[in-house]
Amino acid sequence: MIPEGLEWASAEQILEDVASVGFNFIRMGYAIEMIDQIYDRGGEDVPIEVALIQALGYSNGTRVTNAIVAKNPGWTKETKRFEVWSDIASVALSKGIFIHPDVHVGKSQWCCSHTDGNAWFEDITFNTTYWRRGLSYVAGWAKNHPNVVSMSLRNELRESWNDTGLYYDWQTLVGNMTAGCDAIHEANPDLLITWSGMQYDEDLSALTTRKNILTAPCYRCTAIVDAYRRDPVYFDLDSYPWADKVVWELHLYSSSEDVDTGTCPIIEAGLYRNGFNALGIDPPAACNVTNDCPPAQRITPVVLTEFGHNQSYTLYNATLLNCLQDYTKKYGVSWAMWSLAGSYRIRSGVQGLEDTWGLTNYDWNGWHFPEGLENYWKPWAAAMHVTTMS
């Protein structure tokens, strides 16, 4: 909830580094708990020192707070979390970078798994009332920042494996996501809203093709036993006041449980089937193999908001990564890679954890794989001819 890296480098320096790659967009992850705590405190946000001590313990929390204040002298230990957000957004604006608030979890923790309590609506720590309240709060915050033009509904929805008796299906997705869109749009009608799909945000097929959401297939969905005896239900995006604010978003990793990422033709067919058909592009050749590429029923923006790989020489022969690079260039698809952070204050209970998938090194004073940054990521970003704030 306090962005990573600020104890190692100033917000100014981190964002300068981001801009130097050619990136113009940052997903700023947060937990709904961040807003819950504000309401619990009668509308007052939490000072960064208090937040860090709660997360890291007294010794490490005070040490990290002091380091953050030393690197960012405009802040004190009493600076509030959303004040940090606002300052980051202002610096990002000066660098031509858009900030995209991206809610990952209800309770602050590492995301994502089937058992973390944040997987699906009304999971153990996914209270939908608090979720909508949090979306509304962040949408209101965004009004003061011209480079915050979009925000997410939820990161990587997935089946919960907790004993909760939840219905994991398209109908539940649509009911909750439309309510989330209402919350954002009522608070800030100017914002674009990124809508994620099923199974770790891999699948939007029932929505882009306007299938009957009672019977449309999806991986591990809860069966609606009497679905064929009910009147069909179709999701009509155009019937909502925020229809032209919705942007579909998809993720894809080689670790996918159900999507074949072994060859570029099959990857392209899967991307088309799972939501990129909404761009209005032609079905790729391998659709003749998969036989599962119906066209979209409405042209709608689609972005690839997460994928990633170890930052090493293995970038160059990573099948999925290279296929995605070709795909985004071919169709002009906007994308965001995972991730910037080369280290985390705390992740899955481990403090000071290194992440070799992050672009930065552990100390945030250079790149984890400088050659890859120069020869892989910079050329890819340049090929996209990105828009910047001016």
Q: Which tokens is 315 given?
A: 């970038």
Of 361 and 385, the one with more pLDDT: 361
Tens digits of residue pLDDT in 11-57: 999 999 999 999 999 999 999 999 999 999 999 999 999 999 999 99
Mean of pLDDT over the chain: 98
pLDDT of 388 strictly over 90: no
Tens digits of residue pLDDT in 110-167: 999 999 999 999 999 999 999 999 999 999 999 999 999 999 999 999 999 997 799 9
How would residue 296 be classed by pLDDT, with cut points 50, 70 and 90? very high
Phi, psi at residue 224, to the nearest 5°?
Answer: -100, 95
How would residue 390 be classed by pLDDT, with cut points 50, 70 and 90? low
CB 305 within 8 A of CB 194: yes
Phi, psi at residue 305, to the nearest 5°?
Answer: -95, -5
How would residue 374 be classed by pLDDT, with cut points 50, 70 and 90? very high
Mean per-residue pLDDT, 343-366: 98
Cis, peptide link before residue 339, omega less than 30° from 0: yes
Sheet holding 302-306, edge to edge: 150-152, 192-196, 246-251, 302-306
Instruction: Tell me the fold of 11-382.
Output: TIM Barrel (3.20.20)
Q: Which tokens is 344 given?
A: 């985390």
Q: Which tokens is 147 given?
A: 């480079």
Question: What one-character DSSP code corresponds to residue 238?
Answer: G
Tens digits of residue pLDDT in 59-68: 999 999 999 9
H helix or E strand, kind and range, residue 344? strand 343-347
CB 176 within 8 A of CB 225: no
The structural domains of the chain, with segments of one domain joined by +, span: 11-382
Tens digits of residue pLDDT in 213-272: 999 999 999 999 999 999 999 999 999 999 999 999 999 999 999 999 999 999 999 999
Its pTM stands at 0.97
Which residues are paired to 47 by β-bridges?
80
Mean per-residue pLDDT, 349-371: 98
Q: Please give the Cα distance from 163 to 383 (Å, whole number).
A: 47
Q: In the block, which residue shows the tokens 């239900």?
A: 233
Q: In the block, which residue shows the tokens 């972005």?
A: 303
Q: Please give the Cα distance from 152 to 184 (Å, whole number).
A: 9
- Cα–Cα distances (Å) from 294 to 198, 234, 237, 275, 281, in that order, read 18, 16, 18, 10, 12
Tens digits of residue pLDDT in 185-204: 999 999 999 999 999 999 99
Q: Please give the Cα distance from 49 to 62 (Å, whole number).
A: 6
Mean per-residue pLDDT, 83-103: 98
Smallest CA-to-CA distance from 313 within 321, 303, 305 is with: 321
Q: What is the largest CA-CA distance in the chain?
A: 65
The predicted structure's pLDDT at residue 110: 94
H helix or E strand, kind and range, residue 91? helix 81-94
